[in-house]
Chains A and B, each alone.
Chain A
Amino acid sequence: NAGVTQTPKFQVLKTGQSMTLQCAQDMNHEYMSWYRQDPGMGLRLIHYSVGAGITDQGEVPNGYNVSRSTTEDFPLRLLSAAPSQTSVYFCASMLAGRTGELFFGEGSRLTVL
């Protein structure tokens, strides 16, 4: 059972480039979300989805786009990368009814030059 899989693990971008961070889960979880982790700031919610076709903004959504066409996949798109988006990104999923038990991927480290 793979759990939550994120790709790529590492990425370097130049300012203004776009890219997509991939997230897939094989646990049939309804809920999926993206967080970014920065030193001294903990994890902050970017976007989340409560099911296929449904997405909403979290605490820090600006500069990011998401879609949820299937239960398994929840990609995060950076439209025009900025140095402020240098961070470690985590995808998480949760089974409906299992309060608070978020399962995280291993993260994608993004550097924007």
Chain B
Amino acid sequence: QQQVKQSPQSLIVQKGGISIINCAYENTAFDYFPWYQQFPGKGPALLIAIRPDVSEKKEGRFTISFNKSAKQFSLHIMDSQPGDSATYFCAASPQETSGSRLTFGEGTQLTVNP
């Protein structure tokens, strides 16, 4: 079964809009939550990550919001640009693996229209 559930499967946003992707997890041993961005024909690349001791982390236009009690976290992309069009994966890993063994969500294909 999928231990990290991601939604939506696909998302279309207009340039300048806000893109929101949500993830939920089941394993309470998870304590590291990265987001990866993947362009067609390329491998995933780390975008931003958060630990559960903070509720929000912001890097430029990208923000992770984390709700530990609900076991949910989300990625917000502000002022979305056509160059942000990619597939986004949330992931999680337990403390003892130091993030080396990730459980990924199903992925969200984001399209930002000009």
Could you tell me if B9 and A102 are in contact, using CB atoms closer than 8 angstroms? no
- Tell me, in angstroms, the Cα distance from A101 to B100 when the chains sit together: 8
Chain A residues near B103 (CB-CB < 8 A)? 45, 59
Q: For A31, what are the chain B residues with a Cβ–Cβ distance below 8 Å?
A: 100
Do the beta carbons of B102 and A104 come within 8 Å of each other?
A: no
**In chain B, what residue has the closest Cβ to A49?**
B100
- Kindly state the separation between the CA atoms of A92 and B91 in the bound complex, as whole angstroms: 14
Residues of A near B36 (CB, < 8 A) are 102
Identify the closest chain A residue to B31 (Cβ): A99
CB <8 Å contact, B43 and A104: yes
Q: Is the Cβ of B98 less than 8 Å from the Cβ of A44?
A: no
Please report B residues at the A interface, Cβ cutoff 8 Å: 2, 4, 6, 9, 32, 34, 36, 41-46, 49, 89, 91, 93, 98-107
CB neighbours (8 Å) of B106 from chain A are 40-42
Q: Given A33-B100, A42-B89, A97-B98, 13 other A-B contacts at CB below 8 A?
A: A31-B100, A40-B9, A42-B2, A42-B107, A43-B89, A45-B102, A48-B100, A99-B99, A101-B46, A102-B99, A104-B45, A106-B42, A107-B42
**Which residues from B are CB-within-8-Å of A45?**
101-103
Contact B32 A43 (CB under 8 A): no
Distance in angstroms between the alpha carbons of A101 and B43 in the assembled complex: 13
A102-B104 contact, Cβ under 8 Å, with A40-B9, A43-B89, A97-B98: no
CA distance A43 to B6 in the complex (A): 12
